[in-house]
Copies of this chain bind each other. A is one copy, B any other.
């Protein structure tokens, strides 16, 4: 069993009154497509499980296999294939549509069911005395994309989610190549939605996202697949998550400079096409509030517009049940120091590049 987060630094703190009430440790990697490490804060070499943060990488097969073209998938359908969606009508429609184009319906989904992330839809289901269906599962778009890929590849879609299914083996190989790291099937875990999740270091994830950002380091067809998925997500940020959620808010205002995607257990990744960089964050304890604040800080350091777009996240006000301000979520001194150095280095690189005659 691999050790975890060897004394990772505190990235984010929660204050209430004059007390630091809670804190979140973790690690952050920023890299370019060649794997050059631009930032390594904490343990960026030990493997972590990326969970939903890599849905777009898992969705590459859908485009690269030409399934997307063959089935005439729209950008909306590609976006939901990369999504951890809220289960709103727009998401459900896109998933059904994707499945329909592949000649399937939602009975093929093996993701399991949970109450949709959307409180509105949950309330409607409860009001109607209904229970959620697999299609409400935030991963149903990813699964629809996987099913469509399997069908196009001439594979039996039954058991498509199993680690020994040819589709998952191909997806694993794709991720391995994009991230430049050997994946061991023996070490794969099972995700919440039943597909495999492979251990990857933050360094490798950052490199993978840098390559996803621009296509650099990828074969042309693969680079075009990445471009298609980026374009689709940038065109439909609401479909990638949902109204008011971090990834949607960020991409709605920062596309096409920022592609960003979170995953369970405090994972968050981003691809920055204009800078050719990838970012990978893992919060040791798995807290979403820690990961979202941490990646917001990294984005703000690298993409000035992000400081405005993510102002709410960066202010981090905590309110209680009566709406009284009771505390704040703040970036740690260690994180701010590391990012100040990053911001300086980024500006130097920009100046240096523009001074080459």
Contacts and interface: CB of A to CB of B under 8 A. Distances in A.
A47 B19 contact: yes
A14 interface: yes
Given A19-B187, A23-B285, A320 B2 contact: no
A154 to B, nearest CB: 26
A55 to B, nearest CB: 16
A188 B326 CA distance: 11
A18 B1 contact: yes
A112 B24 CA distance: 28
B192 A19 contact: no
A157 B298 CA distance: 48
Nearest to A12: B285
A137 B322 CA distance: 11
A188 B324 CA distance: 15
Contacts of A113: 321
A279 interface: no
Total identical chains: 2
A111 B110 CA distance: 42
Given A4-B13, A21-B265, 4 more contacts: A16-B197, A22-B284, A122-B126, A193-B321
Interface in A118-135: 122-123, 126-127, 129
State the main secondary structure of chain A at its contact with B.
Answer: loop
Contact of A17 (B14, B122, B190, B283): B190
Q: Which of A49, A321, A326 has the most CB of B within 10 A?
A: A321
Contact of A23 (B137, B191, B284): B284
Contacts of A4: 10, 13, 20-23
A324 B191 CA distance: 10
A287 to B, nearest CB: 6
A321 B48 contact: no
Contacts of A1: 15, 18-20
Contacts of A283: 285
Interface in A177-216: 186-194, 197, 199
